[in-house]
Amino acid sequence: MNLFALRDFARLPNPSSRQGFLIEQPSTIAIFDAFPKAKYHFLVLPRLPFTAAEISEREIDSLESLLLHPERNVVLDELEKMADEVVEMVRDEMGKSEGWEWGVNVGFHAVPSMR
């Protein structure tokens, strides 16, 4: 498995043409998790380059680097907006396919999890 697959996906100029794509915004992208832990499990990633702030790929490469960056709130706000949009999509799909909704959790991967 390519350890940089998520980074490569985040760099695509047209991610909607790829399998695993869910939705995109100018600064973020949501994809299906390759190793889902739940029926509805998606990853929200910053697009590279991150256009909403002056932040380099190296600075956005890890949660630790991001949290130390002075413009971290711009990145976190963009990720939160995308996560909210994905949550609404999931709730809509639950209602359509399951007939009811259950809680949706949103969180961070502090370190990459590939399994």
Q: Which domains does the chain have, with CATH numbers?
A: 5-97 (3.30.428)
The dihedral built from the CA positions of residue 47, 51, 53 and 55, taken in this order, carries a sign that is positive
What pLDDT, on a 0 to 100 scale, did the predictor assign at position 114? 54
Cα-Cα-Cα-Cα torsion 25, 31, 37, 39, nearest 10 degrees, comes to 90
What pLDDT, on a 0 to 100 scale, did the predictor assign at position 115? 47
The pLDDT profile of the chain, 115 residues, written as one tens digit per residue, is 465 777 787 888 888 778 888 999 999 999 998 888 889 999 998 988 888 888 888 888 777 888 889 999 999 999 999 999 999 999 999 999 999 999 999 987 766 655 4
What pLDDT, on a 0 to 100 scale, did the predictor assign at position 87? 96
| Neighbouring C-beta atoms of residue 109, cutoff 10 Å | 10
Cβ pair 59, 66 in contact under 8 A: yes
pTM: 0.82
15 secondary structure, DSSP code: G
Cβ pair 42, 28 in contact under 8 A: no
